[in-house]
Amino acid sequence: MTDVMETSCDGVLLQPLRPGDAGAMSTTTLPHTPSPLGSDTGAAVRLNELRRTYGTGADAYEAVRGLDLEVERGSVLALLGVNGAGKTSTLEVVEGLAPATSGSVEVLGLDPVEDRAAVRRRTGVLLQHSGFAADLTVTETVELWAGLVTDARPVEEALAEVDLGGRADVAVRDLSGGEQRRLDLACSLLGRPELVMLDEPTTGLDPESRRRVWALLQRLRDAGTTILLTTHYLEEAEVLADRIAIMAAGRVVREGTPDELAASLPATISFTTPRGPDGPVVVPPLGAGRRTDRDRTVVETDDLQVTLTSLLTWAAHEGIRLEALDARQATLESVFLDVARVAADAGETHPSTYPASQPEDLR
pLDDT digits (tens, 9 = 90+) for 162-214: 889 999 999 999 998 889 999 999 999 999 999 999 999 998 888 988 998 89
Please check whether residue 344 lies inside any domain of the structure.
Answer: no
| Under 8 Å between Cβ of 71 and 90 | no
Q: What is the pLDDT of residues 278-336, one digit of tens each?
A: 888 888 888 778 888 889 999 999 999 999 999 999 999 999 999 999 999 999 999 99
Find all residues with CB under 8 Å of 69, minimum gap 6, and list them: 45, 46, 47, 50, 77, 90, 245, 252, 255
Number of domains in the chain: 2
Please check whether residue 343 lies inside any domain of the structure.
Answer: no
234/325 same-domain check: no
**What rounded mean pLDDT belongs to the chain?**
84
163/271 same-domain check: no
Arithmetic mean of pLDDT, 216-231: 94
Range of the domain at 136: 4-261+354-362
278/191 same-domain check: no
pLDDT band, very low/low/confident/very high, at 18 (cuts 50, 70, 90)? very low
- C-alpha 167/C-alpha 158 separation (Å) is 12
Reduce the DSSP state of residue 7 to 3 states and report it.
Answer: strand
Instruction: Give me the amino acid identity at 165.
Output: G
Please check whether residue 297 lies inside any domain of the structure.
Answer: yes
132/255 same-domain check: yes
| Under 8 Å between Cβ of 198 and 127 | no
163/290 same-domain check: no
> The CATH number of the domain where 190 resides is what?
3.40.50.300
- C-alpha 363/C-alpha 44 separation (Å) is 29
| Under 8 Å between Cβ of 220 and 196 | yes
291/223 same-domain check: no
322/255 same-domain check: no
213/235 same-domain check: yes
Query: DSSP per residue over 92-157, as a string?
Result: HHHHTSS--SEEEEEETTB-TTTTHHHHHTTEEEE-SS----TTSBHHHHHHHHHTTSSSPPPHHH
Instruction: Give me the amino acid identity at 112.
Output: P
pLDDT band, very low/low/confident/very high, at 348 (cuts 50, 70, 90)? low
Please check whether residue 27 lies inside any domain of the structure.
Answer: yes
- Can you list the positions of beta strands (E) in the chain? 4-7, 13-17, 43-54, 61-72, 76-80, 102-107, 123-126, 195-199, 226-230, 243-248, 251-256, 267-272, 275-276, 279-280, 289-293, 296-301, 326-328
Please check whether residue 64 lies inside any domain of the structure.
Answer: yes
pLDDT at 11 over 50: no
Q: What is the per-residue burial (b if ≥16 Cβ within 10 Å, else e) of 167-191?
A: beeebbeebeebbbbbbbbbbbbbb
Please check whether residue 345 lies inside any domain of the structure.
Answer: no
80/191 same-domain check: yes
Phi then psi for residue 187, to 5 deg, are: -70, -35
252/185 same-domain check: yes
Q: What is the pLDDT of residues 242-290, one digit of tens each?
A: 999 999 999 999 999 999 999 999 999 999 999 988 888 888 888 778 8
* Cβ neighbours, 10 Å, residue 292: 12
pLDDT score, position 70 = 97
29 vs 3, 96, 190, 237, CA distance in Å?
A: 11, 15, 8, 27
250/320 same-domain check: no
Of the two residues 226 and 205, the one the predictor is more confident about is 226
pTM, full prediction: 0.78
pLDDT band, very low/low/confident/very high, at 349 (cuts 50, 70, 90)? low
Please check whether residue 50 lies inside any domain of the structure.
Answer: yes
239/270 same-domain check: no
